[in-house]
Structure 1
Amino acid sequence: MERVDLSAPAPAPGKLQEEVGRMMEEARDLQESGSSLLWKISNEEQSLRQKAISLESSILRVRSLISSLLSQKLLDRNQASKFEEELNRASCIISDGDAAAFLPAKSQGRFLRKFLGPINVRASRKEVQLKVKEEYNSYRDRTALLFLLFPLILLTLRSWIWDGCLPAFPVQLYEAWLLFLYTGLAMRENILRANGSDIRPWWIHHHYCAMVMALISITWEIEGQPNCAQKQKGVELFLQWAMMQGVAMLLQNRYQRQRLYTRIALGKANRMDVVWGETSGVDGQLWVLCPVLFLMQGFEAYVGLQLLKTAFVGVVPKWQVLCCGILLVVMAAGNFINTIQSLITKSRFKAKMKRSKNKQESD
């Protein structure tokens, strides 16, 4: 910073006026240059946006034409498969490259508008979008480990220190953390969808249900002696299910991300896609992952039914127990249906690729 010499004589008024006038002129020039640049960028962005929209609609039109020619048997299936593969790559270039910033933004949904208001969360630069995705993956890795360790510590302390009876505060602290976890996941996933990620809507709805369940369970009074083991049976089952959920999340994070990188390299997936879907795994990985997922979903439904049983029989006749039981059953059914649909889609895709390969070999 330039130091002002106070002992120096003051400039003449005429010279000072000249200096102020020069600064005003520079400010006007800077304003005009900035306005001109922004106007030029705006016009170029509008032109690129129109080109991107036109190209995207052209890809859809050509795909429809290919399907029509196939149905009329006017196009060879091998040739159609090659065309489809090239169109998929072209679509990935548009949606996964810098040109994606010029495509119409996806709806941000009511959830983000409730929390953030009418703010555009779509990043214009691809490196910013990828940074958001990497932060989301890191968040899932950290929370999966906590998802496993937190209930394990509670159950261990229950057996060793608390004489088989969980105190209320640690359990409610865990439920408050679950509310924070699922709210953070839902917000991050909505932001990723607004930036072009292909997250299945069910997973976001699943987190909405989990948020409601965590909010309800915070108000659930954790009763102690007498008959502590019977009164806290639902809490014990819930913590055991949470441990299984942590194991499944760790497996998904480890196995599916490897396959996703391969699909991105082949041009079959977007760099903004994440690893929630079961279709990301290869055959050997699915043999490990699917039994764990089905076991967890079955146990989740079992915990929900047990909570409903305790509410109806009268062991713990509280509305929180009833609501949590219903939500667990709904989430288990939704997870099971989504997993089955994913496996069916994968098997159909594999059968199609196998038929195409056999026909190429025979030709």
Structure 2
Amino acid sequence: MSMTSNFADCLRDWEDLEKDYQHIQETQRLYREKLDEVARLQTSCSGAISRQKKQLRQLSQALRTYKDSASGAEVCAIDEIQAQINNRPNTFFEMEAFLPKKNGLYLRLVLGNVNVTLLSKQAKFAYKDEYEKFKLCLTIIILVFSFSLRFLMSTRALDAAFSFLLVWYYCTLTVRESILISNGSRIKGWWVVHHYVSAFLSGVMLTWPNGTFYQQFRNPYLAYCLYQKGFQSWMWRGLTFLLPFLFFGHFWQLYNGLLLFQLTRHPDCKEWQVLMCGLSFMVLFLGNFCTTLAVVKQKFQSKKK
């Protein structure tokens, strides 16, 4: 009796699983149909936007040509149409954030022509949130690593591991930021360039052989890394009172660049890494200093308005 009951239960379980399997097959079929439909809509929408942009450019040029001989009422109508035309790029930008687009040169070199466009705001927010968590986690690791190298241990092998970590970190940031830009994020161009330069600088430090000049620059460099990760990662979170610390970090970059240029003047300095690191720090200083001034000026102007 017990075996019959157990077998009957198994049959019922199998029937339930079979129904669920049929439902899965139907759902998967609908899913593939929707994917094909989405692909067709994406192609249609992208083509329509491209045509609209081209026609708007032609119309704008024609209106400018006609405006010279237009009457007063026509000039007002032309200005109104022109104002609406000028607002269209912002709308198209928001539309294209959800449409597949060709990857930039950097992403093509790294990922090929893989589509990196996320199709929903939730997915975009989740990716941006994961990007911020990645930066925070690596910042803590770099802080601990740089503190240990500066105060607790001193071996070239660990220095090389630290430089390799920085190269990987900044290269990963550039890839993630390129994906964010492809999905509509308005990341300032300098911050992306900053990470390219930082990756190059870390790579040069990785190849710098151990010697007198490396040891002279090692401790200032590690102290700079410790300061940078300790303060600059939180600078743009509304903490205006930390701006002096931010500018201090910028002038530290200037100091590092001048120190390295001074080392290049030594007659025994034959290492190309000294000059390359010096140039990298000067580029970082100029870019960061000018960008920070522009952001501060913009914030003050916004407050006045």
Asked if Structure 1 and Structure 2 have the same fold, meaning a TM-score greater than 0.5 normalized by the shorter chain, the answer is yes
Report the alpha carbon displacement of residue 126 of structure 1 after superposing the two structures with TM: 2.4
- Give the Cα–Cα distance (whole angstroms) in 2 for the partners of residues 34 and 296 of structure 1: 52
Residue 196 of structure 1 aligns to a residue whose secondary structure is coil
Residue 187 of structure 1 aligns to a residue whose secondary structure is helix
- Give the TM-score of the pair, scaled to structure 2: 0.71
Instruction: Report the equivalent of 1:195.
Output: 183
- Residues 260, 275 of structure 2: 8 Å contact kept: yes
Name structure 1 gaps, 5 residues minimum.
1-28, 62-86, 159-165, 257-280, 354-363
- 1:130 maps to 2:113: no
AA aligned to 2:280 is: L
- Give the Cα–Cα distance (whole angstroms) in 2 for the partners of residues 202 and 318 of structure 1: 29
Matches within 5 A, 1:280-291: 281=238, 285-288=239-242, 290-291=243-244
- Give the TM-score of the pair, scaled to structure 1: 0.60
Q: How many residues align?
A: 259
Instruction: Report the equivalent of 2:157.
Output: 169
Matches within 5 A, 1:71-82: none
Instruction: Report the equivalent of 2:11.
Output: none
Residue 350 of structure 1 aligns to a residue whose secondary structure is helix
- Give the Cα–Cα distance (whole angstroms) in 1 for the partners of residues 267 and 143 of structure 2: 31
Instruction: Report the equivalent of 1:76.
Output: none
Report the alpha carbon displacement of residue 314 of structure 1 after superposing the two structures with TM: 3.6
Check 1:294–1:38 CA distance in 2 against 1; reply closer, same or farther (3 A cut): closer
- 1:346 maps to 2:299: yes
Instruction: Report the equivalent of 1:3.
Output: none
Check 1:335–1:37 CA distance in 2 against 1; reply closer, same or farther (3 A cut): closer
AA aligned to 2:155 is: P
Check 1:231–1:122 CA distance in 2 against 1; reply closer, same or farther (3 A cut): closer
Report the alpha carbon displacement of residue 156 of structure 1 after superposing the two structures with TM: 1.2
Matches within 5 A, 1:79-90: none
- Give the Cα–Cα distance (whole angstroms) in 1 for the partners of residues 157 and 279 of structure 2: 24
- Residues 231, 316 of structure 1: 8 Å contact kept: no
Instruction: Report the equivalent of 1:101.
Output: 98
Structure ranking higher in helix proportion: 2
Instruction: Report the equivalent of 2:220.
Output: 237
- Give the Cα–Cα distance (whole angstroms) in 1 for the partners of residues 172 and 277 of structure 2: 20
Which of 185, 195, 205 aligns to 2:193? It is 205
- 1:323 maps to 2:281: no
- Residues 208, 273 of structure 2: 8 Å contact kept: yes
- Give the Cα–Cα distance (whole angstroms) in 2 for the partners of residues 299 and 242 of structure 1: 10
Check 1:346–1:317 CA distance in 2 against 1; reply closer, same or farther (3 A cut): same
Name structure 2 gaps, 5 residues minimum.
1-25, 60-86
AA aligned to 2:295 is: S
- Give the Cα–Cα distance (whole angstroms) in 2 for the partners of residues 38 and 125 of structure 1: 14
Instruction: Report the equivalent of 2:16.
Output: none
- Residues 263, 269 of structure 2: 8 Å contact kept: yes
Check 1:340–1:36 CA distance in 2 against 1; reply closer, same or farther (3 A cut): closer
- 1:147 maps to 2:118: no
Report the alpha carbon displacement of residue 157 of structure 1 after superposing the two structures with TM: 1.6
| Identical-residue share of aligned pairs (%) | 25
- Give the Cα–Cα distance (whole angstroms) in 1 for the partners of residues 287 and 147 of structure 2: 26
Q: Which has the higher contact order (CA 8 A, sep 6+)?
A: 1
Instruction: Report the equivalent of 2:204.
Output: 216
AA aligned to 1:234 is: F
Check 1:169–1:99 CA distance in 2 against 1; reply closer, same or farther (3 A cut): closer
Instruction: Report the equivalent of 1:269.
Output: none
Residue 176 of structure 2 aligns to a residue whose secondary structure is helix
AA aligned to 2:144 is: L
- 1:295 maps to 2:248: yes
Report the alpha carbon displacement of residue 99 of structure 1 after superposing the two structures with TM: 8.4
Check 1:342–1:135 CA distance in 2 against 1; reply closer, same or farther (3 A cut): same
Q: Where has structure 1 moved over 4 Å in runs of 4 or more?
A: 32-57
Check 1:326–1:156 CA distance in 2 against 1; reply closer, same or farther (3 A cut): same
- Residues 103, 113 of structure 2: 8 Å contact kept: no
> Deviation per CA, 1:19-72, whole angstroms, max 9, x where unpaired?
xxxxxxxxxx99x98887666545555666688889999xxx9xxxxxxxxxxx
